[in-house]
Amino acid sequence: MFDTTTWEYRYKLSHNLRSVTKYKLIVLETSANDPRIPNIPAGARWIQNGVIIAGYHGEGFNTNQFSEPLGLFVDDDETMIIADNWNHRIIQWKKGDTDGTILAGGHGEGNRLNQLNSPTDMLVDKETKNLIICDRGNQRVVQWSLRSGTSKGKVLLDKIFCYGLAMDDQRYLYVTDIGQNEVRRYKIGEKNGTVVAGGNGPGADLNQLEEPIKIFVDQKQTVYISDNRNHRVVKWNKGAKAGIVVAGGQAEGDALTQLFSPIGLVVDRLGTIYVADTWNHRIVRWPKGAKQGTVIAGKIDSNEGENQFEFPVDLSFDRDGNLYVVDWGNHRVKRFFIEKTQNNS
């Protein structure tokens, strides 16, 4: 049973999810030529004592601190970009840094073009060197140049209850809309987009979503969605009218067949799903076609320990297969090194 402190966290996280803020999505492609997605062996394991690599000093507003971080992008050189939600900014940490650098926002909560309001997700458009951000509190998607001297953003989409973003290899932008319980695909510059998942009201039927948060899009434009309130991950093939449950979907719970309000997810080249099982305080691996998952990091009992989390909300991998986790309740990012066994090397 969870103690009072955990229930307070849960209420706060739930409140933010539904009303003011959260979550992050980046797309990591499944192509064998994409260095962002390592070829993770099916039986890979990670050293359980994670290392804090960003956010060493508890909650705060200094550039070596976070306040309820959400989204995470790990680049080829292990540079991290983090959605620092309650500090209303996007911040970058290069490998070995002890302080971050603000890339967008950082001028307090607001709706001016040099401000953000509780950003929940971002991705990097490498073709244009732009940062695309889900500016959740302002109900808009904005674009900031990564070139030096940038001081304000440009609105791409507005009046959208966005939470997560992804971009496929054809540069289509995907956005989760928690208000409409759907995912839409846009060409950069267009305003209406096309519904590619959900859009049939909130619910648990396979043609419905309820609070879709994070997404992953592969090269076939298949969309994987953390369907938060349905405690499942669903896959929508291109052009599909309904999704397929690929993880969870057995109501909320902590059995290995269940998830509890999942958020972040990544799919590797083998079709294995790695998901932040947020309210179970663990990271779970679901091989393609599996009926249950395997815990690869964390425990059900939340804590601040080296191998534990307080509501993990996002994850990513570097090119070597090391696991990065956004530890929301502890205001930090942790890295778990992949074990270098004969089968994993």
- Is residue 5 pLDDT above 50, yes or no? no
- Percent of residues, the chain, with pLDDT higher than 90: 77
- Give a yes or no: residue 343 inside a domain: no
How much is the average pLDDT of 137-165?
Answer: 93
- Give a yes or no: residue 75 inside a domain: yes
- Give a yes or no: residue 341 inside a domain: no
pLDDT in tens, 277-288: 999 999 999 999
pLDDT for res 38: 54
- Give a yes or no: residue 345 inside a domain: no
User: CATH no. for residue 58?
Assistant: 2.120.10.30
**Long-range contacts formed by 230-233: CB under 8 A, 24+ apart:** 230/204, 231/258, 231/259, 231/260, 231/261, 231/262, 232/259, 232/262, 233/259, 233/262, 233/265, 233/273, 233/275, 233/286
pLDDT for res 124: 94
Q: Average pLDDT, whole number, for the chain?
A: 88
Q: Which domain holds residue 297?
A: 4-336
pLDDT for res 119: 98
pLDDT level of residue 340 (50, 70, 90 thresholds): confident
* CA separation for the pair 102, 115 (Å, rounded): 12
- Is residue 163 pLDDT above 70, yes or no? yes
pLDDT level of residue 36 (50, 70, 90 thresholds): very low
With beta carbons less than 8 A apart as the criterion, state whether 43 and 233 touch. no
- Give a yes or no: residue 141 inside a domain: yes
pLDDT for res 184: 98
pLDDT for res 344: 59
pLDDT for res 80: 97
Contacts of 279 (CB under 8 A, 6+ apart): 10, 13, 252, 260, 261, 311
Of residues 242 and 170, the one with the higher pLDDT is 242
- Give a yes or no: residue 105 inside a domain: yes
State the first-to-last Cα distance of the chain, in angstroms, to the nearest integer.
Answer: 40
pLDDT in tens, 180-189: 999 999 999 9
Amino acid, res. 250:
Q
pLDDT for res 31: 47
pLDDT for res 17: 53
- Give a yes or no: residue 142 inside a domain: yes
* CA separation for the pair 19, 268 (Å, rounded): 32
Of residues 295 and 4, the one with the higher pLDDT is 295
Of residues 127 and 150, the one with the higher pLDDT is 127
How much is the average pLDDT of 115-134?
Answer: 95
Distances, alpha carbon 290 to alpha carbons 146, 188, 245, in Å: 40, 36, 11
Amino acid, res. 270:
L
With beta carbons less than 8 A apart as the criterion, state whether 316 and 28 touch. yes
pLDDT level of residue 101 (50, 70, 90 thresholds): very high
Number of structural domains in the chain: 1
- Give a yes or no: residue 286 inside a domain: yes
* CA separation for the pair 61, 321 (Å, rounded): 31
